Structure formats: structure tokens, C-alpha cells
Chain A
Amino acid sequence: MIFSELYSAYYNTIAAIIARIIDGEQSEKELQKIVTERAFGESALTIIPSLKSEKWQLVHSDMTTPLTHRPTMPLTTLQKQWLKAISLDPRVKLFDATFPDLDDVDPLFTPEDYHVYDQYSDGDPFEDAEYIRQFRVVLEAIRTGGQIKFEMTNRKGNTMFIRCHPKRLEYSEKDDKFRLVTAGWRSVSTVNLAKIRSCVPYTGEKQLDGEEREVRHDVVTVKVLDERNALERFMLHFAHFEKQAEKLDKKHYLVKIKYAHDDEPEMVIRILSFGPMVEVIGSESFKKIVIEKLKKQLNCGLK
């Protein structure tokens, strides 16, 4: 069962508190810090008071404990089943890791049990040996804060030699691709991982300045006509953005969505996919792109 106190933030927090007490910590202020870091907004009102008042008989009122071992718990069968399921995913080969022995466990699911039906078909070559090698070089550099160098071909067909700080790997489930987000590289900050070549750690002494480039955001405002279940489809479709919705009348809703400026072409076609149920109100520049596309469509002579 997924919904169990065994996985709860409270149990984890209590375990961390007892471990600190066993290590010799008795300051209530320090223990309260663990609650703030590991539990929820209002947990401070419950956890330490319940321990201190001996409601949960694990800690005495003087903040000592009769327990003698730092609390640990083996993985549950459900956790092992999930791990086993993950071990069957081809992407797991990207990681230079050894799975524990899970021979006596059935996977929670197998690739046969689910189907991602609208993922693009030109995803990264996750099982390609060179791709895996480069992935590991990048991941290690992110972990250690090191630099890497690699080659890539730009849009004009020229080979570029790049040295940069890899900051993070951004994975898109729709594209099934990793993008490498970098710092210290003047012309570009993000590159598709599958497009880089000859990637190795940079061991020279030249240092790079610069942080990850800030993402420029824009806001699109649309009016949604709730017919053919459009409102639900629209709100779910754009659920992963920061957004705000307002009911205008029985059938109309106003929705503001914040998106990365670089993703504007994608946003335009995603909004167009809702047809007349979604009208772009602003920005003017966004609306202009939609109108241009529709004008071109009108001239296509579709009968």
C-alpha cells in the first residue's frame, strides 16, 4: 500500500531527531530545525511537543531517549518492486551503477504494462555506447563542479569547440531527450546532449566565469470557451506551467500562462491545437503570430 505512515514525513523526521539525540544533541532548537527541514509547514506544532510530552514514548521530557540505535528501516516489498521495475528500463544503462540483488522480487510493472503513446519517435539513443559514455562524463562533472569540453556542429554546419561548466541535465518526456544546461559558454547555454561529440572532462587550468543564463519569460493570456470539454483538456494540457485562471461567465474562462520565451513557437502550435475553443487575448505579438498562421491557412485553398 502506497499510502502508509511507513513512508511519512513524520516517521522520517522522528527517525532523524532520534538519531541526533543518540549522537548527543539535546538542544530543542536544533531538533526543531530538523522538523522545519524535513516535515511540513505546521509540523513544528506537533512533532517536538508530542515527543516532549511523552505522548509518543520515544523521548523523555529531558530530551534523552531509551532507544540505542540510529533508527533505520529495511526497504518495503513495494519499494523493492518499484526498484526492480526501474532496473528493466533501458535508460538505466545511462548510469554507472550496480543494482542490488532483487532476484526474489517481482517488478511492480514491466515495459509491457504501460505505453507512452504520444512521445516523439526521435528520442536520444539511450543504449548507444558513446552516448552513454558522454552522459556519464557530463553527470560526473555536474556532481563535482568540473568543466568539460566537446565538439558540436552548429546550424551553419561549422564545427564548434566548446568548453563549459555543465550545470544540469534537463529531460523532456515529450521529446524523450536530454538537454545539457551550461554556464560559462558565451554563445549558447543549452544544447541537445545527443548533438555533442568527443566530450571529455577539461583538466586544464583555465577557469570560466559565469552562471547559468537566466530564462526570459513571457505571458500569454487566452479566453477558453468551455465546449467539448475544452476547459478540462486545456487546463490539464497546460498544467505544468505557472498559470492563473479566472471564471468570466458560465462558459468562458480567462487563463494566463507564463512560459519561456524560447518556447514561443511551441506554445503557438499548442494553443492552435485547441481550435476555436481558445482565443488568444494577449500579448499582441503572440496574437499576431496566430493571426499570421491563420491568414496563411486561409490562402491554402482548403475546401
Chain B
Amino acid sequence: MSSYSELIKNFEKIRAYMREFYVYGFKSRGGYSSKSARSYDDERRRLESWLGDHMSFVRTPEGKNIFISIDSRTIRHNPLYNAWKAKSFTDGDVTLHFILFDILHDPSVRKTISELLSEIDETYLSGFESPQMFDESTVRKKLKEYCEAGIIASEKEGRKVYYRRTESTDVTDLDDILHYFSEVAPCGVIGSFILDKEEADTDAFTFKHHYITGAIDSGVLSALFTAMREKRAVTLSNLSRRRDLPRRNRIIPLRIFISVQTGRQHLVAYYPEYNIFQSYRVDYLSNIKLEEVTPRFDELRAALDGMQSKMWGVSVKRNKWGSEHLEHVEFTIKIEDGEDFIVRRLEREKRVGMVEKIDEHTYRFVADVYDTSEMVPWIRTFICRVVQMNFSNRTIENQFKRDLESMYRIYGIGEEAAE
């Protein structure tokens, strides 16, 4: 039986727990039926260790509920990044790492593997009571790993291979840039890794409407960006909320769609098997394997560019023969004197479509989109002033009106008049 460590080998396991604790936070230990009780205890303890004061609990009849509660407006750095800084390593890994970089302390210093081996033994380890032993293949493997990471460079001269550290990159001028972009840019955790090595900390920025949840999907996002950069197909696991087990799909990733209002991130990709464009929730994706380069990438992305003027959110309705199904959406609102800000809201919040002025107090929004249902939450934000609507998708329009009726019932509105 292995003993507990606050470090982890596999990020995927903790990803699901972090989501549960952060996004939901109402399950007690018994609610995690699919995982063993010991696993739950270990992951909870790790999160407590990484996140400290951000972890809270409440006692309920079902037991103790653990949750992560963070007002992201009050923090300067995303605390969920800590999970990415908890990778486990072996005693040999850490010893070798620091010794190698002590020997190769400057890019001008270069050594062959046999020079490195003898220096490791004689200069560094011989002073210990029971010195660790590193054989040539272990050191070679580590150097190869570091060459791939870009922190060591190898140079061949005749039959000899020399290793040296790569040149340092001066980031002292980038302190504010790193603080800001590590919070707002995709894969910001990488900026946080750079900040960790720096001493300066100006902390000039805070953030509002700041979704920190995406941090735990940074690994998936980074792999998808790599695939897009290299114009590759990928095979990935997609866990739909309608299925218990993830499904493996081979797709061509085209663009990441980020929402700053719902906390969700989607991948829009081309699914060759069915000749369709499809969106996938990034938080449901895992186990991404880069496949072959595809010659169709530019053509498919150009097709997506053309579709975006008809997308309110992430839905694309184009069938396998390439024909599109568009839905017409129209709604009219009335405003009172001094409510010009409502018109400004329509203008700045619309993503597609247009706003028409009917008279001084009446404005109409018109659009043709793939999926009317994606617009409904936005239209509801104009409740108290919607005077007319006309959706070509009658089912959605009727649902909208039925929902309004339900809301009147919930709050007892209109009942006074009926009585």
C-alpha cells in the first residue's frame, strides 16, 4: 500500500474532484459513489493542502460537505493553478535536476555524458553517506527529456555529443505583463510558472467577472492549441453528460470558443466521419492524442470563419451534405424616457444580427442564427420590456412564453387580478 503524498502523478484524477468541489460543492463523502472512500479522503486532503483557506465545509444531515469558495474579484492570482504545481517526482529526478543545472550553470559550459557522470559522482554525491547511483542510461534519458523541454541543448562534434543549458530569457521587463496575462490569457498557468521564478510582485491588477475554472482544463487546451498550430487531427475522449463512459472521437480541432459570461469553453471541430462541424465542452475532453497532419485544416477553418456570423454561441447546424439550417429571431422592446442605456446594451451585447429603431421608444432586434435556444437567456435579460417576438422556431418561442407564465406563477404575479 503506497503512503499518502500531497503530490500527484496523474492530473486527470484530481481534475474531476476540483470541478465537483469548486463548481458544485454540495456533495458529502457518500455522494462520490463512483470513487472509493480512500481516494476521496486523499484528494480532499490534497486540495486542502494546495488551496488552504479557500476550502470550506458545512455539516448537513448527509455528512460534511467540502467545497471551494472563492470570490475571484478579491484574489490577484488564480489559486487553482496550484494543482498544476503539484507533480510528483522521484528522489533521483530531483537530485539529478539540481546537480545537472549546477554543473551546466552557464550556457558556455558544455559537457559530454561521461564528463557529467564522473562529475555527478565525484563532486556532488561522494560526500553523502550512502550516495545515490546514476547509470548512464538514466542520465541520458533525463538529458533527452530536458532537450525536448528546451532547457538543455545537445551539440554533436564528430562522435562526441556535448550538452549545455540553453540561453536564459530576460523577462525582468515583463512583470506587469505576466501578472495580467497569466489571469486573462488562455493557458495562463504557464505565465504563472514564469512568475514563480521571479521575485518581483507588483500586484497592480484584480479581475471582475473572472472565471478561474478554466485553469483545470489548461492541459487539454494546450494540447488542442498544439494540434491547431501543427494542423493535426486528434483522437480524444469526450465525456457527454448523457453517457456514463467517454467516447473516443477522431476530429480536426479548428478553434476554441471561450465564454466570459458562462464560464464555459468549447472546442469547435470538424468530425470527418460524419462530415459535420461540432462543438465539444473542453471540460469534458481528456486523453488527447495528436494524429497526422491534415491538408484540409485551412479550408475547414475558412469554412468556420464563414459560419461565425450565424453563431450566437457554439452551435453549428450544418448537415453532412453541407446545407445549413438557419432560424430567424426577432424581438421588440420598449424603453422609457432616459433609458437609452438599454439601447446601448442591445448594441454592445449583440454578437450577431442588428438593432432597428422603430420609434423613440421602440427597438427591434433581428438575426438569423443556427440555434435560437442559445439566445434565450440573453433575451430574458430584457424581461420587463419585451413587447413582441417572432421566432421561426415556434417551439422555442412557445417555450419562452410558457416560461414567462411559470415565472408569474412562481412569484404569484397576476393572481391578484385573477382573484
Cβ of B241 within 8 Å of any chain A Cβ, yes or no, is: yes
User: Which residues from chain A contact B386 at a C-beta distance below 8 Å?
Assistant: 297, 300, 302
Residue from the set B25, B82, B130 with the largest chain A CB neighbour count within 10 Å: B25
Cβ of A294 within 8 Å of any chain B Cβ, yes or no, is: yes
Q: How large is the interface on A (under 10, 10 to 19, 20 to 34, 35 or more residues)?
A: 35 or more
The number of chain B residues with a CB under 8 A from chain A is 143
User: Which residues from chain A contact B219 at a C-beta distance below 8 Å?
Assistant: 1-3
Contact of A43 among B6, B48, B128, B377 (CB under 8 A): B6
Q: Which of A67-82 contact B (CB under 8 A)?
A: 67-69, 71-80, 82
The number of residue pairs between A and B whose CB atoms lie closer than 8 Å in the complex comes to 394
Report yes or no: B205 in contact with A56, Cβ–Cβ below 8 A.
Answer: no
Say yes or no: A236-B213 contact (C-beta < 8 A), given A7-B193, A114-B255.
yes
Report yes or no: A300 in contact with B82, Cβ–Cβ below 8 A.
Answer: no
Which B residues lie at the A interface, using CB under 8 A? 5-7, 11, 22-27, 45, 48-50, 52, 56, 58, 60, 62, 65, 67, 69-73, 82, 84-89, 91, 93-95, 97-99, 101-102, 105, 123-125, 127-132, 149-151, 165-171, 173-174, 176-177, 180-181, 184-187, 189-191, 193-194, 196-197, 202-213, 218-219, 222, 225-226, 228-229, 241, 255-264, 301, 308, 311, 313-314, 334, 344, 347-351, 376-378, 380-381, 383-389, 401, 403-404, 406-408, 410-411, 413-414
Report yes or no: B197 in contact with A12, Cβ–Cβ below 8 A.
Answer: yes
Given pairs A60-B127, A118-B351, 11 additional interface contacts (CB within 8 A): A69-B101, A83-B174, A109-B256, A118-B313, A232-B23, A239-B211, A247-B62, A272-B383, A275-B376, A291-B411, A302-B404
Say yes or no: A74-B385 contact (C-beta < 8 A), given A14-B98, A80-B150, A173-B209.
no
Report yes or no: A302 in contact with B388, Cβ–Cβ below 8 A.
Answer: yes
In the complex, what residue of chain B is closest to A6 when comparing beta carbons? Answer: B149
B interface footprint on A44-85 (CB within 8 Å = 1, 0 otherwise): 001000100011111010000011110111111111101101
User: Which residues from chain B contact A4 at a C-beta distance below 8 Å?
Assistant: 87, 149
Q: How far is the CA of A95 from the CA of B180 in the complex (A)?
A: 10
Report yes or no: B407 in contact with A174, Cβ–Cβ below 8 A.
Answer: no
Q: How far is the CA of A173 from the CA of B184 in the complex (A)?
A: 7
Say yes or no: A273-B381 contact (C-beta < 8 A), given A3-B219, A5-B87, A74-B168.
yes
Cβ of A9 within 8 Å of any chain B Cβ, yes or no, is: yes
Report yes or no: A293 in contact with B351, Cβ–Cβ below 8 A.
Answer: no
Q: Which of A262-298 contact B (CB under 8 A)?
A: 269-270, 272-276, 279, 287, 290-298
Say yes or no: A116-B260 contact (C-beta < 8 A), given A108-B222, A121-B347.
yes
Grouping DSSP codes into helix (H, G, I), strand (E, B) and loop, the A interface class, with mixed when no group exceeds half, is mixed
Report yes or no: A80 in contact with B384, Cβ–Cβ below 8 A.
Answer: no
Say yes or no: A113-B196 contact (C-beta < 8 A), given A10-B89, A89-B181, A272-B380.
no
